[in-house]
């Protein structure tokens, strides 16, 4: 089964306030094993890079000035992604920026049904623990010593290792696995996709006045002289 691990870098936190995607890095997995095929692009955001964002990823205005616009490379990205499940850490953030960029160039958004969120997986496996990429790499012994600043492709590579660990370790993707094992892996991934997209619907809250509040209300109404809404009706308390 083909899956894509991806990460993005941006100018900030919210595309709806003008922040833009500036980098995307993708790692291809087949049966939970990296194939060596990657996709990595920088994009000109057509806006200045805030100092806070630059401190995170180090992508400056001058570096991005000659990079293509997202709309000019959207099709090659979509061709790479195909219809594969997409794995990201805090995936709604990355999906939000990716879909915003696609909408800006009149492209269909990517369905959240393809989303697998490793933060949600980690919270299920390790409730109460820290779930940042750094913390989880430390927990699973994944070397991140070369990660000085955030980078989309580097973070996707780390996330690919983490995803393999979160889904059972490297033995899952061994080529010696039986066809039934591989089918089971596919069913597991489909379940993970479904779990990440389930929305919890809470019952509506019931707000009812207490007997004391109702009594005070009746007493207040009784003090009114010929209220219009009681014209032709019984008096309060009758």
150 classed as catalytic: yes
Per the annotation, binding residues are 7, 9, 57, 155
Residues at the annotated binding site for substrate? 7, 9, 57, 155
Q: Give ∠ CA 170-173-179 in degrees, rounded to 5.
A: 145
Name 2's bridge partners: 30
From the CB of residue 150, how many other CB atoms can be counted at a distance below 10 Å?
A: 18
Tell me the C-alpha distance between 59 and 53, whole Å. 8
What are the two backbone dihedrals, phi and then psi, of residue 134, each rounded to the nearest 5 degrees?
A: -60, -45
Q: Which residues are 164's β-sheet partners?
A: none
What are the binding residues for a divalent metal cation? 7, 9, 155
Query: What are the C-alpha distances in Å from 188 to residues 31, 150, 177?
Result: 11, 30, 15
Q: Which of 89, 100, 131, 150 is catalytic?
A: 150
- Residues annotated as part of the active site: 150
């Amino acid at each position: 089964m083909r899956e894509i691990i991806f990460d993005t870098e941006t100018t900030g936190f919210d595309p709806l306030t003008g922040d833009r995607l500036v980098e995307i890095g993708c790692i291809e997995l087949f049966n939970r094993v990296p194939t060596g095929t990657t996709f990595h692009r920088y994009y000109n955001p057509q806006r200045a890079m805030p100092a806070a964002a630059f401190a995170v990823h180090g992508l400056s205005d001058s570096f991005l000035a000659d990079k293509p616009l997202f709309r000019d490379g959207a099709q090659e990205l979509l061709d790479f992604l195909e219809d594969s499940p997409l794995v990201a850490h805090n995936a709604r953030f990355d999906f939000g920026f990716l879909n915003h960029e696609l909408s800006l160039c009149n492209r269909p958004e990517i369905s959240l049904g393809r989303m697998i969120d490793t933060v949600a997986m980690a919270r299920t496996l390790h409730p109460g623990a820290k779930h940042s990429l750094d913390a989880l790499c430390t927990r699973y012994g994944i070397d991140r010593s070369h990660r000085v600043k955030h980078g989309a492709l580097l973070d996707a590579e780390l996330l690919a290792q983490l995803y393999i660990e979160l889904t059972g370790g490297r033995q899952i993707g061994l080529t010696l696995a039986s066809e039934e094992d591989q089918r089971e892996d596919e069913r597991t991934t489909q379940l993970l996709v479904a779990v990440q997209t389930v929305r919890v619907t809470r019952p509506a809250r019931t707000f009812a006045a207490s007997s004391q509040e109702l009594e005070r209300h009746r007493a207040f109404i009784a003090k009114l002289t010929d209220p219009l809404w009681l014209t032709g009706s019984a008096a309060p308390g009758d």
